Structures are given as structure tokens and as C-alpha cells.
A = this chain, B = another copy of it.
Amino acid sequence: MVSPDLLPQEPKEAPKRRATAEAMASRQREISVSEFFTKNRHLLGFDNPAKALLTTVKEAVDNALDACEEAGILPEIVVDIKEVGKDRFKVIIEDNGPGIVKAQMAKIFAKLLYGSKFHRLKQSRGQQGIGISAAVLYAQLTTGKPAIITSKIGKGRPAHKIGLRIDTKSNAPDVTSDEIVPWDKEHGTRIELELQAAYRGGRTGVDSYLEQTVVANPHLGLIFDPPKGEPTVYPRASEELPREAKEIKPHPHGVELGMLQMMLSDAPDETIKHVLTDRFSRVSAAVADEICVKAAVGPKMRAGDVHGDELDRLHKALGEVKVMAPSADCVVPIGEDLLKTGLRRRYPKAEFYASSTRPPSVYRGNPFVVEVGLAYGGDMPTDESADVMRFANRVPLQYQPKACAISESVYQTNWKAYEVSQPKGSLPVGPLAVVVHLASVWVPFTSEAKEAVAHYDDLMRELRLAVQECGRKLATYLRAQHKAQSEQKRLGIFQRYIPEVAEALSIILERDKDEIARQFQAALPNFVRLGQTTEGADVAAEEAPPAPSMLPPADSAAPPSMGEPPAGFDNDVSSSEIPAKKPGKSKN
């Protein structure tokens, strides 16, 4: 370090001292988390009016879905957005979830940093315990209106309806009204918020969020009543609730040093070995011993005494020891059938649907599952890029498609091998929608804004394989289609050209044109299977499973070997195969 002596001398005339350290200390005070987020609401997704509306709807719907699933209820959700003034909207989200007990209602909706999901390691949509109360705070800040919450926890129980504000100075709920109201619903929760907002369409709008949510959640019945136009009803497409995700303990791979330190200091009097076996998943006594040997620390050392180098070594050893991947039951994919069901709901007029769910795989100790679905044909535009929907734990990712490993897996796939056109390095072009879902306890996002999935090798490989698997199903279908049409087409080609050839030959040879044409027609059946109609080509396109050993090497971006072209197609050495290098200036 350089000595400050290098700096120029103090000026002769020192500036007048203004405040002393003591005076300044007297101004220091604590800031409530609500005050903080009031000033910094962009941190929670309330950057601008349009994003504020999306965030509000998203937080409420995600919460409702999580609550229904945790309670084992098939969700029915109504989203209602009304324009109530210039740049002012009322947002109502009502669910049929388990309801909220009266005592918790105020805190859940009007205290920032309060919730049940934050401290658990479990696949769920919400995580923070901050989203919905941030929406309440934003509404209050921009319109001054309290949030109105109605909730009922069961048949015969009262429905409580309360008005709520947040006291930002203390981050505590302020109940402005409280009544019992009649509600014919058995159970459920309803939230009404009035906020300054902007309603926008497009990829990052509320409509898109809901359309995509419906694809990834076939068990969801949804009604969406937008500010303008008729309501859209998405009837439930599946009566099957997703399996409940298991909560797990942290896996030794990928735990951060600070996290380890905290886990140790949480149980200062236990032995290291005990902490390892008790608080991590997949760490047996033998594994714990191995870790301790690697780290050169005694397994019986007090957890509270681990500091400095010992901590570093223990952390390193945890990352290096061989342990089983955590049980995959902490990850809940949508499943192949339901993914197609979801696609059918969003694209009811497509002509073909397919899906593939990969077996669970592990990334840095975190189990994950990739699944891909696609819909093809029907009323989708044929000259536009495929519609790609990205999901992480059933939640649509609406921002940053370019930076996302999911999008990359779609455009790096060689779709031409699957009979879909594709400009170089771009998304495929055609009447195609592709859904990719990544389910994991811990999704590796590129930034912690959770907008795009990072490009890790293990993940990319699974993503690519899943897209390729699904692509092959599409290819099988399309080839069967083409083949059925091809014999008919072949016939047409020959019949179109026979008169021309016959005429030319007849003039050259001065022979009868019709006779030559007749001879060509007579030879025709030797080259076209005229008897075979095109209708019988019944290919169960969605079923054709490639043997796993046929999979291309995971690292190669090359198209999978597609075998020989289907019979009935000819290979021609192009007869105009002139070298590309032309002499330049003049052409004779």
C-alpha cells in the first residue's frame, strides 16, 4: 500500500470545519424496510407503470397457485383488471385456495419480509415473502388506497374482509377496516388493489403472462377479464394436481462459504460431523468423515470453533467430496401428457402436438428436469419465427430471451433436420410453438433478476437433448406427411412434362407425337406406385422414440444423424454443379 505521504501537503489555509464526527453521529438512525422499498421500488419489479401492473398480477397469481397446490386444491383463479381513471387501474385476483387464517391476513399482505417460503429449500413459485406486500405498498404509494383482502378458510367459517395499509415507518400492517361478509365460496382469498399503472400488450405484458401460465399449469382454471374487451375463459385442462414437491436440505455441492459459516454458527455446540450429517442432504457418517479428512479438521470439533483456514478447507472439501445427487422428488415436472394438454389449450387449432420430459439430472448438486413441448401447424403463421415460451418452475420468463440458455437451445438446434426452415443462427421459422420448462429447487439464472437461465454445460446438454427429442417427433410426423403427398406429386411431375418431351422428340425424329406420348404413359407405372393411395400413411407421429444410443454427442451442435432419406426420394447429383468461382468481369 502506498503511503498517503505521496499526496500534496495540507493546504496552508485549511477549509473551515463544518460538522464533527459527534454531530454527524447524532443524525444516524435506523431505516425501516418499508421506507427503503418505498424509495427503491424498482428493486421489486415496480420500475414503471407497465411493469408494476405485471408484477402485481404475477405476485398474486403465483401466490394463489402455490397456496392451492400446497393445500391440495385444484386452482380456480379470476384475474380482473379495470381501468378506473387516467393511468389508474383496479386489480382483483380471486382464488379458491385454502384461505388465510384471520390472524395472519394483515401480516401476509402488509408487512414486507414476511412469509412461509423464504426459509425452505423447496420448488415453489414465490420465494421472497415480499412480492405481494410490495404490491400493496406500491398501490398505497401511488393512489393512497388501502388494499382490500377477503379470505375464508372453509365451509361454514366466516369470510373476513379487511382493509390494509402499511405503516412504512415501522413496516407494520395498519388495518383500516375489518368486517365479516357473506361469501358463497367454500374457501379462498381475494385481493383488490388500486394502483397507478399502464396496460400493455406484447411479450412482456399481462396477457402474455397469463397465456403462458395456462400452458405450464394445465390444472389451473383461469378467467381473465381485461380492461377492454371480452373476458377470456381458460377452462381447466387437467383434473390432476402436480405432485407435491419435497422440501430438501442443502446439498454439499455448491453451498457458499458464508452459508456454511452460518450453518455452523447456528449449532455452535454440535460436532462438525453432526452438523454435516444432520443439516445437509446425502451426507452419511462415512461421507462426513471423508469430508473431515479432506479438510484436515477433527470430526468432533465444535462447530462454533470453526474459523479462518479451517472454515476455508471445510468449504473446499464439501465441494470436492463425492456424494449422491439429492433425491429427484424435490423436482416436479409438468409431465409429457399435461404439457401437450397445456399446449392444446393455448393453440387449440394446431395440427400436431408433441412433448418430451427428460429424466432428472443434476447441476452442481441441484436436481433438475427439462421438458419440452411443441405445437405445429393450424392457424399459426407460416412465415414468422417460432413462438418460444420459457418457464422456470412453471413461471413464464418474459424478459431477456437473447441471453437465455433456453432460447439458445432452441436456436442452436438444427431444425432443418426436422423439416422446419431456419435462417442461419436464428429461431426456426414456421407454424411452430415451443415450450421449454426447467424445474429445479435452484434455477441458475444469469443474473439474480431471474430473467434468463445461465449457460451451464450440464444444463445446456439436457436442454439440447430435450429439444432434439421433441424435434425428432415433429420430423417423424412431417416426413410421414410429406411421403403421403410425394407419390402423388411424382405422378403429377411426370404427367406434366410428358407432352413437352414427346413433342420435342416427335419434331426431332419426325415421328408421331401422340404415339411417343403414349409410350411414355405406358412406361409410367414402372416408376410410380400408382395403386398406393396417399391416405394410408398413418404414422403415430408422437410415439416414434429414438433409441437413446442414437442420440448425438451432447457437445456437438451438429444435427443428429437422420439415417437415409425416406424411400421414394431420389438423389441427384446436380447437373449444374458449376464451381462457385466465376471469372469475374465478363460473362459470355
Contacts and interface: CB of A to CB of B under 8 A. Distances in A.
Interface string A486-498: 0000000000000
A15 B225 contact: no
A156 B37 CA distance: 42
A130 B36 contact: yes
A20 interface: yes
A21 B100 contact: yes
A258 interface: yes
B92 A258 contact: no
A73 B108 contact: no
A168 B262 contact: yes
Interface string A49-74: 00000000000000000010111111
A133 B104 CA distance: 32
Contacts of A142: 256-258
Contacts of A225: 1-2
A38 interface: yes
A178 interface: no
Contacts of A578: none
A423 B379 CA distance: 46
A251 to B, nearest CB: 17
Interface in A161-209: 168, 185, 187
Contacts of A428: none
A6 B447 contact: no
A43 interface: yes
Given A74-B15, A78-B1, A36 B128 contact: yes
Candidate in A24, A103, A119 with the most chain B CB atoms within 10 angstroms: A24
A17 B73 contact: yes
B107 A21 contact: no
Nearest to A157: B21
A40 B76 CA distance: 31
Interface of A: 1-2, 4, 6-8, 10-11, 13-22, 24-25, 27-33, 35-36, 38-43, 47-48, 67, 69-74, 76, 78, 80, 92, 94, 96, 98-101, 103-104, 107-108, 111, 113-116, 118-120, 127-130, 140-144, 153-154, 168, 185, 187, 221, 223, 225, 231, 233, 235-236, 239-241, 244, 256-262, 311-312, 315, 447-449
